[in-house]
Structure 1
Amino acid sequence: MGAAKVVTDKTFVTDVLQSDKPVLVDFWAEWCGPCRKVSPVLEEIAGEMADQVTIVKINIDENPETTRAYRVMSVPTLTIFKGGQPVQSVAGAKPKGDLVRLIQSVL
């Protein structure tokens, strides 16, 4: 059973950019209501699709370098990285089906 992994400015390169499989990055914040709504959905997807995609979370308030580098303006922002590059991104809490389709579009 997979679970969303927490990443930081220090671990982003290793955990996301150097990953062998696509990585969905959840840019989130403690104070963000929609972030709390999308979090359990991402945990479900992490469990169901662990062999195809890695799901990680990065707190924007604690990790300003990565947040700035990818120009994250609103949370939650969900960005899929493949081969070290951001390839798809959506802002806001989305239904599980939309997120699964987003992931499948890059597999």
Structure 2
Amino acid sequence: MNSSFNTIINSEKPVLVDFFATWCGPCKMLGPILKEVKDSLGDRISIIKIDVDKNQQLASVYQVRGVPTMILFQNGKQLWRQSGVLEKDNLIKIILDKSNQ
């Protein structure tokens, strides 16, 4: 298991992990949406992208079967996960609802 990944997801700040693949069309659509989410929430959230082709072990640990899959962590706990693309406003609402912000 990747120790730096564990350090990141054990943050008190919510961490949204985007499991993606470079060949995936919906993943490319999600990129700009995630940037807007980060711009809106600023320091209240961390967003990291994990390339499933380069990190197959990590994808396997979290049972990522399809991309994009987003998983929200806080203090090392998985709070929420979903596969597919979401609108910016939906994503922000989920992040704020699920985390204790």
Q: Does the alignment reach a TM-score above 0.5?
A: yes
- Structure 1 portions without partners, runs of 5+: 1-8
Among candidates 94, 100, 103, match of residue 86 of structure 2: 94
- Structure 2 portions without partners, runs of 5+: none
| Aligned-residue offset at 1:20 | 2.1
User: C-alpha distance in 2, partners of 1:57/1:11?
Assistant: 13
User: C-alpha distance in 2, partners of 1:69/1:39?
Assistant: 23
**DSSP 3-state at the match of 1:55:** strand
User: C-alpha distance in 2, partners of 1:60/1:10?
Assistant: 17
- 1:4 paired residue number: none
Q: Which runs of 4+ in 1 moved over 3 A?
A: none
User: C-alpha distance in 1, partners of 2:62/2:5?
Assistant: 12
User: C-alpha distance in 2, partners of 1:88/1:77?
Assistant: 11
- 1:83 paired residue number: 75
**What TM-score results when the alignment is normalised by the length of structure 2?**
0.89
**What TM-score results when the alignment is normalised by the length of structure 1?**
0.85
- Identical columns (%): 37
- 1:57 paired residue number: 49
